[in-house]
């Protein structure tokens, strides 16, 4: 399969330069059709079999499990958002006074607020690992600082596979090794990596992996996935819905109330997890993501952006070292000479879509992008350099 010739899967007009999948992915045509078909099916609910509450969800879990190299699909829960998954994790962790939770500088808010609340509740502490100020070997030094921050006081390390603004790549294998030495949990937010960057539960062995589903997994807004490892096998779900109890598929017997949850992560699924519209769209999305493979997506993004990255650096932009960042998502620190207000207006006028996050202009690409998209961005940037 030539991954570079699949732009026709999408409905993106030629005049649009979309370098913003990290914010919200475009649906490809098959996902759009699946959603429309599901909406029409809901118009005739008598044609929806009771098995549709369960069987498609099982298939969805199997596909996500395959994507992250996990054999036990029942360790996957379908959830409505990354914040729901993180809150579930935090709900099942008890801290001692003086314990620390290690976070990265400027993590996404959904992977901060639950930890702040948890440490405040238990008189514990957040330990925020700052990115080094230097532009030389910044990410390598940041990884070293993360490892140094993990000690006997550490109860949890919660972080992304990459930094959501800069694309800085974290050495999860080394971090996992250090957390094991200190009996700390490792909780990964894969929202900006899984699907576009290879991730293996077998290799990393996190205690939990949480992923928003509407970015690199191409699902509709309002869907997400979670992997929960053995630590959470007997935990408390955020809600008590009928589908997470044993034998819930036996609809005539639902009022034979059941104290026992389904095994593994099934206890953590959200209410209405069989959402007919969302699940059908998610199934179609993961089918295609698996066909592409994260390895091929990452290689494509690296190839189409390599010239642009060199030119951007020559223009005075700072980008993390290539060996310590992702290629589907990376941030630019702009030169001081850029008039930011004029730049944002120029981007808007020319239908170029990117994100401004903290100190970075974040560029994020996928298989529908070409070198021309990056050149349009660079031309626009040149127009406001003084």
Tell me the pLDDT tens digit for each residue of 178-230: 999 999 999 999 999 999 999 999 999 999 999 999 999 999 999 999 999 99
Residue 235 has which token pair?
Answer: 């935990």
Give Cβ neighbours of residue 33 (< 8 Å, ≥ 6 apart). Answer: 284
pLDDT tens-digit map of 72-82: 999 999 999 99
Give, in order, the Cα–Cα distances in Å from 179 to each of 105, 147, 164, 205, 302.
19, 9, 22, 11, 31
Give the model's pLDDT for residue 7. 83
Average pLDDT over residues 233-250: 91
Average pLDDT over residues 239-245: 90
Give Cβ neighbours of residue 291 (< 8 Å, ≥ 6 apart). Answer: 1
Give the model's pLDDT for residue 274. 87
pLDDT at 43 > cutoff 90: yes
Average pLDDT over residues 26-36: 96
Look at residues 225, 187, 223, 190 and name the one whose alpha carbon lies nearest to residue 206: 187
CA 203 distance to own-chain centroid: 18
The torsion angle over the Cα atoms of residues 248, 65, 196 and 166, rounded to 10 degrees, is 80
DSSP H helical segments within 43-81, as ranges? 55-67
3-state secondary structure of 60: helix
Domains of the chain plus CATH, in order, are: 3-21+293-382 (3.90.1150.10), 45-291 (3.40.640.10)
The DSSP line for 270-310 is PTTTT-HHHHHHHHHHHHHHHHH-HHHHHHHHHHHHHHHHH
Lay out the sheet containing 154-160: strands in order across.
76-79, 224-228, 208-212, 185-189, 154-160, 100-104, 125-129
Average pLDDT over residues 162-171: 96
By residue count, the chain amounts to 386
pLDDT at 253 > cutoff 90: no
pLDDT at 1 > cutoff 70: no
Q: What is the mean pLDDT of the chain?
A: 95
Average pLDDT over residues 132-161: 95
C-beta of residue 354 within 8 angstroms of C-beta of residue 380: no
pTM passes above 0.75 = yes
Give the model's pLDDT for residue 344. 96
Give the model's pLDDT for residue 279. 96
- Tell me the C-alpha distance between 318 and 314, whole Å: 9
C-beta of residue 346 within 8 angstroms of C-beta of residue 383: yes
Give the model's pLDDT for residue 3. 67
- Band the pLDDT of 83: cuts 50, 70, 90: very high
Residue that the structure tokens 């992996």 belong to: 209
Q: Which of 20-29, 45-54, 125-134, 172-181 has the lowest mean pLDDT?
A: 45-54
**Choice between 150 and 358, residue whose per-residue pLDDT is larger:** 150
């Amino acid at each position: 399969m030539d991954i570079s010739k699949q732009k026709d899967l999408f409905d993106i007009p030629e005049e649009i330069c979309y370098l913003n999948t990290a914010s919200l992915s475009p649906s490809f045509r098959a996902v759009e059709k699946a959603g429309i078909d599901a909406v029409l099916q809901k118009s005739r609910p008598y044609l929806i079999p009771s098995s549709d509450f369960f069987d498609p969800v099982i298939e969805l879990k199997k596909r996500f499990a395959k994507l992250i190299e996990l054999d036990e699909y029942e360790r996957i829960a379908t959830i409505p958002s990354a914040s729901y998954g993180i809150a579930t994790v935090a709900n099942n962790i008890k801290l001692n006074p003086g314990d620390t939770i290690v976070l990265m500088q400027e993590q996404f808010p959904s992977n901060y607020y639950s930890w702040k609340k948890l440490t405040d509740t238990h008189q514990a502490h957040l330990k925020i690992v700052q990115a080094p100020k230097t532009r030389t070997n910044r990410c390598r030094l940041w990884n070293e600082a993360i490892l140094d921050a993990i000690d006997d006081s550490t109860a949890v390390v919660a972080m992304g596979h990459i930094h959501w603004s800069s694309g800085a790549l974290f050495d999860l294998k080394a971090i996992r090794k250090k957390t094991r030495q200190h009996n700390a949990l490792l909780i990964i937010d894969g929202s900006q990596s899984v699907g576009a960057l290879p991730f293996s539960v077998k290799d990393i062995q996190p205690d939990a992996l949480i992923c928003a589903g509407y970015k690199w997994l191409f699902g509709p807004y309002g869907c997400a996935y979670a992997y929960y490892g053995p630590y959470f096998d007997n935990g408390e779900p955020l809600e008590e819905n009928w589908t997470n109890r044993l034998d819930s598929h036996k609809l005539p017997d639902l009022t034979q109330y059941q104290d026992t949850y389904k095994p593994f992560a099934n206890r953590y699924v959200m209410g209405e997890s069989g959402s007919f519209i969302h699940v059908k769209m998610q199934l179609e999305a993961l089918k295609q993501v698996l066909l592409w493979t994260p390895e091929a997506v990452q290689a494509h993004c690296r190839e189409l952006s390599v010239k642009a990255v060199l030119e951007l650096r020559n223009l005075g932009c700072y980008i993390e070292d290539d060996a310590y960042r992702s290629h589907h998502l990376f941030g630019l620190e702009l030169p001081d000479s850029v008039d930011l207000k004029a730049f944002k207006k120029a981007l808007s006028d020319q239908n170029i879509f990117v994100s401004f996050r903290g100190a970075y202009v974040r560029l994020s690409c996928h298989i529908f992008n070409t070198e021309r998209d990056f050149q349009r961005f660079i031309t626009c940037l040149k127009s406001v350099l003084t």
